[in-house]
Amino acid sequence: MNAPTTTSHYPTAPTAQKPESHTLSVLVDNEPGVLARVIGLFSGRGYNIESLTVSETEHQKHLSLITIVTTGTPMVIEQIKNQLERLVPIHRVVDMTLNGTSIERELAMVKVRGKGDNRVEALRLADAFRARVIDATTESFVFEITGKSDKIEQFIELMLPLGLVEVARTGIAAIKRGPDGL
């Protein structure tokens, strides 16, 4: 015997949305205080910035590109984009994650101290990851590595037991694929 189906007149409870990482490219006027306003929007509303890069992109037009990596539910990401678009010196906000046709890269410098087998292993791993030696002493190396953030994370994890001393990272830079600009 089949159980009777019941229908409810109440909407089902919303399912919990899972936080996602998004890369936002924000085209802004290159003038004092713009970055502070953007960061103020994030801190004032309790949003976290995981990575932030800023550079002038069009000198004649006095435009800069801010690339922000942040995490939140899809609803929070939409709020962030909408609030950014309302700031006066902002020309355009593009969610590179949703766009799907972007290239993201990061640069890191990784200092590793070691002698003997650890030194040889660090060089072997650096070669496998296509990291370049940009400084070397008899006791340490500084490697330069570029690529996706997860590749850099893997490299850093592998260098930990070999004598990792210090890491300096640039943050993510992103650009849209194809002939069109932002």
Q: Give per-residue pLDDT as tens, 139-162.
A: 999 999 999 999 999 999 999 999
Same domain? 82 vs 24: yes
**Amino acid 38: pLDDT:** 93
**Amino acid 14: pLDDT:** 53
Q: What CATH number did the domain enclosing 125 receive?
A: 3.30.70.1150
- Evaluate whether residue 168 is within a structural domain: yes
The number of folded domains in the chain is 2
Six-digit token string for 149:
């953030």
- Last residue of one domain, picked from the residues 34, 66, 100: 100
Looking at per-residue pLDDT, the higher value among 8 and 33 belongs to 33
- Last residue of one domain, picked from the residues 65, 83, 100: 100
Sequence-ordered alpha helix ranges (H) in 57-178: 74-86, 96-99, 117-128, 149-163
- Evaluate whether residue 3 is within a structural domain: no
**Amino acid 158: pLDDT:** 97
Residue range of the domain that includes 25: 20-100
Return mean pLDDT, the chain: 89
- Would you mind telling me the total number of residues written for the chain in this entry? 182
Same domain? 25 vs 83: yes
Same domain? 133 vs 122: yes
- Evaluate whether residue 181 is within a structural domain: no
Exposure string of 63-93, with b = 16+ CB inside 10 Å and e = fewer, is bbbbbbbbebeeebbeebbebbeeeebbeeb
10 Å Cβ neighbour count for 156? 16
- Evaluate whether residue 10 is within a structural domain: no
User: Is 34 within 8 Å of 91 (Cβ atoms)?
Assistant: no
- Last residue of one domain, picked from the residues 100, 120, 143: 100
Same domain? 169 vs 113: yes
- How confident is the model over 109-118, as a mean pLDDT? 95
pLDDT tens-digit readout, 65-89? 999 999 988 999 999 999 999 988 8
- How confident is the model over 34-45, as a mean pLDDT? 92
Same domain? 86 vs 114: no
**Amino acid 178: pLDDT:** 85
Same domain? 85 vs 113: no
Same domain? 148 vs 95: no
- Evaluate whether residue 68 is within a structural domain: yes
**Amino acid 22: pLDDT:** 93
Same domain? 47 vs 80: yes
Q: What CATH number did the domain enclosing 82 receive?
A: 3.30.70.260
- List, in sequence order, every residue forming a beta bridge with 145; answer none if it has no partner: 108
- Evaluate whether residue 7 is within a structural domain: no
**Amino acid 116: pLDDT:** 92
- Evaluate whether residue 12 is within a structural domain: no
Q: Per-residue pLDDT for 26 more than 80? A: yes
**Closest to 140 (Cα-Cα) out of 114, 177, 176, 179:** 114
Q: How confident is the model at residue 13 (pLDDT cuts 50, 70, 90)?
A: very low
pTM: 0.79
Q: How confident is the model at residue 128 (pLDDT cuts 50, 70, 90)?
A: very high
